[in-house]
Amino acid sequence: MLRGLSGRPRSLSPWLFYDDEGSRLFEAITELPEYYVTRAEREILTSHADEIIAGAGSGDLTIYELGAGSGSKTGLLLEAAIRRQGSITYRALDVSKSALEEAKQRLEAAITGLTVEPIVSDYTDGLSNVAGQLNHRKSGERRMFLYIGSSIGNFELPHALQILRDVRAQLIPGDSLLLGADLVKDRQILLRAYDDAAGVTAAFNKNVLTRINRELGSNFNLQLFRHRAKWNEELSRIEMHLESLITQIVFIPALDLQVRLARAETIHTENSHKFTDQQVESLLHRAGFSVAKQWKDDLGWFGEYLAVA
Ligand code: AVI
């Protein structure tokens, strides 16, 4: 954080968004009329879950998910797997132990035939920290990894590629990865999705300052910052920033850092890359996968890619 805030341009890691309040605000974002991402992906999974699971091939399927979150879309795939083979083990990876425990309770109560095995892991730093849990393969196990929700878009491309390669290293021929990716579309639609009329995304973005104030004792005044969503055409991504409305100095005692912000200077808080089919395919190829099948929502705004090892 020290490097991001003292460097130019100034930045903060997007993973700081997800404290309890940030996770609640993100769930609220997924319900916004402007934020089509979650709805478009749910539409695909609702229409094609059986086909997706059939694409995973035969064998005793186990589903793994990176960044399991609230798991509401995943339920559609778990139910399809149960229709096919009677029961399913779902191994959910997430940094938050409490989110995983909550998801286990909720999903096992709602879906008969489901066993949830939480794996606490920050997969963004590689999967070697949970190698012990991943290396053990049940005999006859066929794996399907899920990396849905276009979380892949929140990483710079080299890091995104590394995550896909880490997943590939856990798979053997016949296993698969289901990757959800948000696609390039009209700029105004994208900007509205990241700067909604009700101001929920603005609150989500500014919440990072509240978190730093609470955890590091700083004195960011939220009134003196404005949420900005920008489309970066060259890098094909939406960027979220917090723009300083005046020239100001913020002190962060825990880092012993004074941040001098000029008027209109921004702190870059998130990237959300938007892909073409070709870009997703090329990323997957470079990570050692080939694309077996892909699906889109009716508007062609979101893509779901079944990649095989
Ligand atoms: C989690 N991730 C895929 C979201 C996105 O669309 O990039 C995070 C988000 N940021 C603002 N709105 C939603």
pLDDT digits (tens, 9 = 90+) for 9-33: 999 999 899 999 999 999 999 999 9
- The set of long-range contacts for 131-137, using a CB threshold of 8 Å and a minimum separation of 24, is 133/91, 134/64, 134/170, 137/172
Query: Over the stretch 41-95, which tens digit does the pLDDT of each residue have?
Result: 999 999 999 999 999 988 899 999 998 766 779 999 999 999 999 999 999 999 8
Alpha-carbon distance of 304 to 309, in angstroms, equals: 16
Q: Is the CB of 29 under 6 A from ligand 1?
A: yes
User: 26 C-alpha to center of ligand 1: Å?
Assistant: 8
User: 163 C-alpha to center of ligand 1: Å?
Assistant: 18
Segment 193-198 shows an average pLDDT of: 98
Percent of the chain with pLDDT over 70: 99
Query: Over the stretch 199-258, which tens digit does the pLDDT of each residue have?
Result: 999 999 999 999 999 999 999 999 999 999 999 999 999 999 999 999 999 999 999 999
Q: Is the CB of 37 under 6 A from ligand 1?
A: yes
Measuring from atom 11 of ligand 1, which residue has the nearest CA? Answer: 194
Among candidate residues 234, 235, 244, 250, the one with its CA nearest the CA of residue 267: 244
CB distance 127 to 167 below 8 Å = yes
Q: Left if phi > 0, otherwise alpha if psi is -120 to 50, otherwise beta: which for 227?
A: beta
Q: Is the CB of 196 under 6 A from ligand 1?
A: no
The ligand 1 atom nearest the CA atom of 37 = 6
User: Which positions ≥6 away from 284 have C-beta within 8 Å?
Assistant: 164, 177, 179, 290, 291, 305, 307
Q: Which tokens hold the place of 88?
A: 């399913």
Alpha-carbon distance values, 296 to 85, 127, 154, 284 (Å):
26, 29, 20, 17
ipTM above 0.85, yes or no: yes
Q: Is the CB of 207 under 6 A from ligand 1?
A: no
CB distance 43 to 52 below 8 Å = no
Measuring from atom 3 of ligand 1, which residue has the nearest CA? Answer: 151
Measuring from atom 2 of ligand 1, which residue has the nearest CA? Answer: 151
Alpha-carbon distance of 14 to 270, in angstroms, equals: 5
Alpha-carbon distance values, 21 to 203, 207, 208 (Å):
10, 8, 10
Q: What pLDDT is stored for residue 70 in this prediction?
A: 66
Alpha-carbon distance of 139 to 142, in angstroms, equals: 9
User: 151 C-alpha to center of ligand 1: Å?
Assistant: 7
User: 250 C-alpha to center of ligand 1: Å?
Assistant: 27
User: 272 C-alpha to center of ligand 1: Å?
Assistant: 7
The reported pTM is 0.95
